[in-house]
Amino acid sequence: MQLASRIAITSQNFRTVTGHAGKARRFLVYKVGAGATAFDPEQLDLPLAMAMHDFDDRHAHPLDAIDVLITGSCGDALMQRMARRGVRIVVTGETDPETALHAYLAGCLKPPAPHAHEHVHENAEGVAACACHVIRAA
């Protein structure tokens, strides 16, 4: 018997897949498998202090209850942090949440397209090191 999974999608407006997973506070959470429907998402709206970017990893977090997080963009550090919490992150160029969900379940979620953007990330040495354009395998 297949167990139910919980898949969250970053969606700051509850209508589209959005990026910057570490700063996201709004998610559509779907239950799939074991008779659960994927078409009735729960809206998770977290306070500012619960955004993963600044969250203290020593504490439990509502995203600990999910298995997969689908997002438009995510840095490597957050991917590693969430993996330690048992959450797999998948980055996509798909903008429709239900399309993204069904494509993920079918194993054919489209990767993000490389893009130019205005923000800059810096590593510990102060060197620009933005990984938002990096395509990650599903």
CA 69, CA 10: separation in Å to the nearest integer? 7
Within a domain: residue 73?
A: yes
User: Do the domain assignments include residue 132?
Assistant: no
Q: What is the pLDDT of residue 92?
A: 95
**Looking at this protein, which amino acid is placed at residue 25?**
R
The answer as to whether 12 is a domain residue is: yes
Per the structure, the count of domains in the chain is 1
Global pTM reads: 0.79
Residue 39's domain comprises 5-106
Residue 86: CATH number of its domain:
3.30.420.130
Is the confidence at residue 68, as pLDDT, over 70? yes
Residue 130, pLDDT > 60, answer no
Q: Report how far apart, in Å, the C-alpha atoms of 56 and of each of 1, 22, 86 are.
A: 36, 12, 16
* pLDDT > 70? residue 70: yes
Is there a domain that residue 112 lies in?
no
For the segment 28-63, what is each residue's pLDDT rounded down to a tens digit? 999 988 666 666 899 999 999 999 998 998 999 999
Q: What is the pLDDT of residue 77?
A: 93
Phi/psi for 88 (5° steps) reads: -95, 130
